[in-house]
Structure 1
Amino acid sequence: MRTTKFFPLLMVIAMLAGVLAACAPAATPTAAPAVPTTAPAATEAPTAAPTTAPAAEPVKLTFWFNWEGTNADVMKDLVNRFNAANPDIVVEPVFQPYADMTTLLQTSIAGGTTPDVVALDLILIPQFVETGAIAPLDDYVAADANININDFYPLLANYDVMGGKRYALPVSTNNMQLIWNKDLFKKAGLDPEKAPATWDEMQAMAKQCQDPANGVVGFEFYTQPTGEGITWQFQVWLWAAGGEFLNADNTAAAFNTPEGLKALTYVSDMLKGNGSQPGPWGLFGDQKACMQLDGSWLFGYRKDAPFQWGIAPVPAPAGGTTASNVGGEHIFMFDASPNKDAAWKFIQYLTSPDVQLEWDQKTGFLPVRQSVAENADYLKWINETEPRMLPFVQGMATAHTRPATSKYYAVSEAFSREIQKALLGEASPADALAAAEKAVNDALK
């Protein structure tokens, strides 16, 4: 999930330049000199005038992305180095605000002015695949010995396969794990270096750490307003309990199960004052929450926090497995691009192990490739630079992706609207799950 400001709509039309074909001028024959004799005059074979064909202009690609700040600077540097190494291709990187990206892409499809390559939030890709405007990558992947699909984490690689065809490749990712305030733990008499590993431990520590008189909650759950914030957070507990959000083909709700009831009962019980209370985000940053789930992006804004904090895997229920929810961007090409071979070469470059290793080290994104996550240099860099990143890296092995459906946001809104009633104590977990099941199935229809 991304948190962004919304900007006014921008209309950006990427102009694609075609390759200019150069034609050499026709050769001009020269006449042989006259011979002073009555015999027929001999002639020499015509001699072609020496010509040099002008070099073909490089293929031009337009590449849209919504990374900002350091991430954008790193990406532009990678693009410049690709251009230098491939003089026959020029990639133009174009930043588009996240809030405007969907509208801009829809407008470009309607107007026939699509960019060649796009890096996009994975959850938005299905709706563009549905338009038929994205080019399948299967033939390129099959013919390219440098691409090993099995090296990408399966949860990411499988997300891009829709209707039996592959439409994108992972290029960046992140996930959520548990963050705790060591200062508040110590103040509450808890071991500041020990995070909870199970649901029972988490609730017990949250109850001990909470301080209602001073507005401190033990664990900060996001409960309002409705929307993806509620869905995104709750899915973690659902998966940890062994449940699923939608069925295998994303055509019906799958969460109204004993596993779903277990997860919602656990969360809603804590929100009754047993370690937590309903509310929007903000308490943890104000040192008013002992624990919460947060993403690997937190190193950007927690680095200089005025308190000590640590990262640990998301607690699991007894007999369950830790789980997480991933975000990030995947990269694809539009079918209307006249330069698909060049576009594929660029995609292959950005997703290659060496480039991914550098990208992850310079941006803090997590590896999309298992070989990068296990790379000795990468692990050495983490241990020397930010050891607290390790739970995020290791968490990719047990993380999940949200369903790859073009109706996801409608589903998320319908789900959160009903589940919020249980979080706020307005409905029982069982009733909220039943109502959410109906609402989600209606949204999927």
Structure 2
Amino acid sequence: MNRTVKVTALLLAAGLGGVAAAQTSTYKGPKVTLTYLHGFTGADRPVMERLIAQFNAANPNIEVKAQAQPWGTTWQQLPSLVASGRAPDVVVINEDQITNFVARGAVSPLTNAELQAAGINKSRFYGPLFKTADYEGKSYGVPISSVAYVMFYNKDLMKKSGVSKVPTNRTELLAAARACTTDRNGRKPGQSGFDPKALNTWGISLYNNWVGSRLAYAAILQNGGSLVDKNLNASFNSPQAVEGVQFLVDLVQKHNVARPNSTEEAELAAFSQGKVCFFPSGQWYLDRFEQQKMNFGVAFVPRIGTKQDAAWGGSSHMTLPKQRAGYDANKRRAALAFVNWMTSPTQNLAWTEAGSLPVMPAVANNKKFENRPIAGVFSKLGNIYATSGFPWGGQVLGPFDNAWANAYSGKQSVKAALDAGVSEANKQIQQARKTFQ
């Protein structure tokens, strides 16, 4: 899965030319050189390199030397770099790793005083997005990039099926999905002779991998549940979780408006072929559908639950690793000034052309997005939540993803699958806790 899309000619239109270079940082000290480690190695790399060059040109007292390398390499190297006193001055860490590194002492907290001195205002960002890098009441990173789980919809199939409104809640979703579903003989669910094993078109795509499980994550959040409890033990088998996931499973097993035990690749192809109305997935497929010149739209995930709007999001945060004793205070101040510059509205607007969602309302409200499909989710970007806040991400998410796959495929009941997943997750958490002692 690629969480970026190609860089387009819209970079200049987005404000990358001239405007960004005119901005200077808040650092006024002696010249320093900063090392900057990030994992933007795909189509987003040229955008990052251009921004760095603009920063260096506008700030003669700070020289940023960047290194791009695969994310996995950084996760392997960062602990030893910190331990040996050779950590980079600034490193970008993703949402699924940041709490682990924070809990291990590899990342230094950012105090309110130094954030303010650098010009970094937390309130300019979407609240849940900024808090992705918080842990035990302290901030450890500033968001530079964001992706999210959204719902693509096929306008042509919706029109053909008589669906005029994009569903925003559980009732509307079920009704629209029923209308979009037909078997090979043109019968719909509930009609005599309808064959759920021979679908010709169907309402919604569900599938059995980790991306598919993020819709279940949304349902749990929307019902007021969570993946972990206050003690950071797995708790995704709560009554709220079971109820939300059960609705999704019922779309397959009871209502017959989704294919059973399908894959992301199969559902992606079906959506592109006009076989399915609603395709919940990562926003990273936007470029693909635009290239195919599909008649599609993008919406926020419908409120399947009863408490709140919520969807999964991924993110990347600029952090300051823990440094050796005697580290130059000027370098830290300069690093924070660089972070502020890179995460300011002008730079974030440019960065969205590399596949990121806006990380702040000021950018989402820019007129450049008025006619773009992705703008359909912008009004609710403040309701996107990453799977962070607990150090043992893999120990929770692996069993959760398996539980979703077992429930969706019918191998286990929803309650049994979630119970088994929580049991396995807490066994793994118990082992993981020992590495933090």
Give the structure-2-normalised TM-score.
0.79
Q: Does the Cα contact within 8 Å between 2:155 and 2:295 map onto a contact in 1?
A: yes
* C-alpha distance in 2 between matches for 1:369 and 1:196: 26
Does residue 160 of structure 1 match 2:147?
A: no
- Secondary structure in 1 matching 2:228: coil
1:87 aligned partner = 60
Q: Does the Cα contact within 8 Å between 1:140 and 1:344 map onto a contact in 2?
A: no
Q: Does the Cα contact within 8 Å between 2:82 and 2:322 map onto a contact in 1?
A: no
> Aligned-residue CA RMSD in angstroms?
2.6
Q: Does the Cα contact within 8 Å between 1:284 and 1:291 map onto a contact in 2?
A: no
Does residue 172 of structure 1 match 2:163?
A: no
1:42 aligned partner = none
Q: Does the Cα contact within 8 Å between 1:174 and 1:327 map onto a contact in 2?
A: yes
- Secondary structure in 1 matching 2:261: coil
CA separation of 1:310 and 1:142: change in aligned 2, threshold 3 A: closer
* C-alpha distance in 2 between matches for 1:162 and 1:2: 28
CA separation of 1:70 and 1:81: change in aligned 2, threshold 3 A: same
* C-alpha distance in 1 between matches for 2:107 and 2:304: 41
* C-alpha distance in 1 between matches for 2:172 and 2:308: 15
Q: Runs of 5+ in structure 2 lacking a partner?
A: 5-28, 184-197, 431-437
1:36 aligned partner = none
Does residue 246 of structure 1 match 2:237?
A: no
Q: Does the Cα contact within 8 Å between 1:414 and 1:443 map onto a contact in 2?
A: no
| Higher radius of gyration, 1 or 2 | 1
> What is the aligned-residue identity percentage?
27
* C-alpha distance in 1 between matches for 2:89 and 2:394: 26
Does residue 116 of structure 1 match 2:89?
A: yes
1:308 aligned partner = 295
Does residue 266 of structure 1 match 2:247?
A: yes
CA separation of 1:104 and 1:190: change in aligned 2, threshold 3 A: farther
Correspondence for 1:436 among 395, 411, 421: 421
**Structure 1 residue 190, shift from structure 2 partner:** 2.5
**Structure 1 residue 310, shift from structure 2 partner:** 1.2
2:204 aligned partner = 219
**Structure 1 residue 331, shift from structure 2 partner:** 0.5
1:68-126 Cα offsets, whole Å, 9 max, x none, are 44422121111111111111221112211234331232443355432221112122111
Range 405-414 or range 362-371, more displaced: 362-371
- Secondary structure in 2 matching 1:173: strand
* C-alpha distance in 2 between matches for 1:359 and 1:238: 31
- Secondary structure in 2 matching 1:436: helix
Matches within 5 A, 1:3-22: none
Correspondence for 2:361 among 367, 370, 386: 370
**Structure 1 residue 309, shift from structure 2 partner:** 1.0
2:322 aligned partner = 335
1:43 aligned partner = none
* C-alpha distance in 2 between matches for 1:353 and 1:312: 24
Range 362-371 or range 411-420, more displaced: 362-371
* C-alpha distance in 1 between matches for 2:42 and 2:2: 15
Alignment coverage as a number of residue pairs:
381
* C-alpha distance in 2 between matches for 1:75 and 1:116: 17
Range 295-304 or range 135-144, more displaced: 135-144
1:41 aligned partner = none
AA aligned opposite 1:285: A
- Secondary structure in 1 matching 2:380: helix
1:17-59 Cα offsets, whole Å, 9 max, x none, are xxxxxxxxxxxxxxxxxxxxxxxxxxxxxxxxxxxxxxx9942
Does residue 278 of structure 1 match 2:261?
A: yes
* C-alpha distance in 1 between matches for 2:396 and 2:175: 33
* C-alpha distance in 1 between matches for 2:162 and 2:114: 52
2:20 aligned partner = none
1:109-161 Cα offsets, whole Å, 9 max, x none, are 35543222111212211121123122221165355162211222221222222
Give the structure-1-normalised TM-score.
0.78
- Secondary structure in 2 matching 1:201: helix
Q: Runs of 5+ in structure 1 lacking a partner?
A: 5-55
Q: Does the Cα contact within 8 Å between 2:118 and 2:333 map onto a contact in 1?
A: no
Does residue 425 of structure 1 match 2:410?
A: yes
AA aligned opposite 2:319: F
- Secondary structure in 1 matching 2:297: strand
- Secondary structure in 1 matching 2:263: coil
Q: Does the Cα contact within 8 Å between 2:3 and 2:355 map onto a contact in 1?
A: no
CA separation of 1:206 and 1:284: change in aligned 2, threshold 3 A: farther
CA separation of 1:230 and 1:307: change in aligned 2, threshold 3 A: closer
